[in-house]
Structure 1
Amino acid sequence: MIAGSVLSRELTGLGSWAVRVVLDGTPGPVIGTAGCTVLDADAWNLGYRFGPDAWGHGYASEAATAALDAAHRVRPDLPVTARALTSNPASLRVLARIGLVERWRGRSDEAAVADPTGALGVQRVVVADRELSDQLLTDLIALG
């Protein structure tokens, strides 16, 4: 993951970051990661992951906003996209809070793994900061 982020930064000027809380000027331990990388489909992929102890404190919203702003500065011509499962409503709320709009919702391979019987109705959601071409949306759906 670190090597991928370093390569992304070298190729595009942006990658993922380690997220730490700073208290009284002192950085604490890493609580998660966040950032944007360019997909082969010519779009930014905004992503974040945090440990359970960091959930519910607004860190994901703050980090996702910083990643969105950075992507808009580095390559404003590329759409910023993200993908999440409906079984993670907190992540969907973060994506909506930072202004990304749902562009597709449906079953994907990853949703099928998360909900193999379909009983829970788990679906994949694709969001973006702008309209997407049919081809780009197809490519994003194929990523899972």
Structure 2
Amino acid sequence: MNDDLLTDRLRLTRAVPSDLDEVFAIQSDPRVWTHYPSLRHTDPAQTVEMMERWGRSWTEAGLGSWVARLRDTGAVVGNGGCTLLGGEVWNIGYRISAEHHGRGLATELARAGVARAREIAPERPVIAYLVEHNSASARVAEKLGLELVHRAPDAGNPDPSVIRLVYADRPLTSAQLGAALQ
């Protein structure tokens, strides 16, 4: 199976080292981290680590995050896909550049990730792991048909008032929920 994928508007490809600058530009933009500013990348080394995690997911699970480019221009507009957490669940995640928010690209990217995860290992649940005040991500999870299965304080968050939500495509076992909350 080819790792790359075309959607209506996006070309999704595995990250390569030459993608670093464009991915870092998105990951370091405070406008895309308004819901969790402490996770914003401030050093390209953080983005390199993230891209290496994607690569490990591709190697270990046959799926990971892609770099998302507009099909018509080739411009990098984000990243995302499904990565395996704890060997138990597919975690759908994405980050779209601030200039492209509100155009449905996150949903398009997320749908592609979920479809591929279900091709590779349909027995694994698909989850979305997000903070409660990120209502845009909650809407994407709901568009994917995921339902809220967990709501609790976000352990380890520098802001103790933040609530963590887990959406899933089915009920989760305690081991699956534990993998989601690692």
Distance 2:148 2:90 in 1: 15
Shift of 1:85: 0.5
1:93 alignment partner in structure 2: 139
Contact 1:41 1:140 in 2 (8 A): no
Tell me the TM-score normalized by structure 2. Answer: 0.68
Cα gap change, 1:135/1:13 in structure 2, threshold over 3 Å: closer, same or farther?
A: closer
Shift of 1:98: 0.8
Contact 2:149 2:171 in 1 (8 A): yes
> Number of residues paired by the alignment?
133
Matches within 5 A, 1:1-144: 1-23=50-72, 26-27=73-74, 29-110=75-156, 112-113=157-158, 115-116=159-160, 118=161, 122-141=162-181, 143=182
* RMSD (Å), alpha carbons: 1.5
Distance 1:133 1:9 in 2: 24
Percent identical among aligned pairs is: 37
Tell me the TM-score normalized by structure 1. Answer: 0.85
Distance 1:58 1:4 in 2: 26
